Structure 1
Amino acid sequence: MALMTEKAADERYAGNLREALNVYFVMGSPNCGGRNPAAVLRAAIEGGVTLFQFREKGPGALQGQERTELGRKLLGVCRQAGVPFIVNDDLRLAEELEADGIHVGQEDLAQLDRTGLRQRFKGRILGISAHNPAEAREAVRCGADYIGAGPMYATATKPDARAVQGPGIIAAMRADGITLPLAGIGGITPEGAAAVLAAGADGVAVISAIGGAGDPREAARRFSRLFAG
């Protein structure tokens, strides 16, 4: 399975997707505590972030050209570091930036041509959110490369988030035969990550615990240590 376009894989990233999901940082300008998002991302990558998703949502989120330009800057940071760059939900922006992939939630998936989504992003990473085994099976049918499962724990980042599922939902997906790479998301801290991984996740997707940390580098390092050795 190609993680990106063939050229991108050759030049920027030679790892596999399960490893890339280990420390999956999701962030936009509202998640940085007023700091420069590019600086936060650089520090987080230095701490061990292995995959990045640009998610510019929430109060104060940039719009239009400002949003695009921020995405371009963060893409540059990822390119320099060899970290794959994923865009949240916005297919047009993902194509304009030539992102390494796209991640879509269930609400967005309902509005899209599911059968054409994989073909539209052929050669790029396709991630789909799922909250139960049935949604996970549908993600597989749609051609997902990985699944984001959650919410693991309570989170204030997404006010409209589904009810907390806990790590048990990952175990349920695995028991249901889901073998795709899988990342848990939602309120995950370094202390809570171990249970997520033990349930069968390949990694953890994190917003506030890194973006909102006083030291994003050290915060990312705490997650990265879970995969050391």
Structure 2
Amino acid sequence: MIVTVGNTKGGVGKTTLALNLAIARALSGRDVWLIDGDRQGTAQTAITIRAESGRLPAIACAQYADGSTLRAQVQQVGPKFQDIVIDAGGRDSTALRAALVLSDVLVVPFAPRSLDVWALADICSLIDEARAVRDGLHAVAVLNGADPAGQDNQEAVEALAEFPQLEYLATPIRRRKGIANAAGQGLSVLEMSPRDPKACDEITALVRSVFKSI
């Protein structure tokens, strides 16, 4: 299964979610390939830190910021893996466009802020273009960095009605320091000690929903 975590808006936590999805699948025994489609290479850096620490399971990772290269490598090497997770976006790029055409599922993180919700129009346009090339892309939106209380979360979810391209996954990820700290070490929050039960439950629910969404 090929899953892309992408959005044309930066700062919504794509890399953190991509790392958690990839590592969670590897922890469950799947053979996973994480692809960094961003020129900044943050996911690749995190996996390098993981490898240098000797943490297991090892995660295969490659960086392809060019769309044609990403497409060619996934088509040639991808069949060797059970799951591929692509970290793409932060802007409209050839890598993001290639990933959308290749993927079974697109996960679009968004924050409960008006600017983040309005920005979904851009990724929805790319979803339409990708579906015109290859039918079958399932796109889901996940609230990331959700507020612990207040109305902003619900208002952001309700605003998704303007974007029929996206199915809302009712598995919000709240702002938790442990999730960010884990990613900085090339880890999933599922691997951290002491364990953060709430964060682990949220990530586990997200992984389950994403990989059962088609």
What TM-score do you get using the length of structure 1 for normalisation? 0.38
What TM-score do you get using the length of structure 2 for normalisation? 0.40
Higher helix share: 2
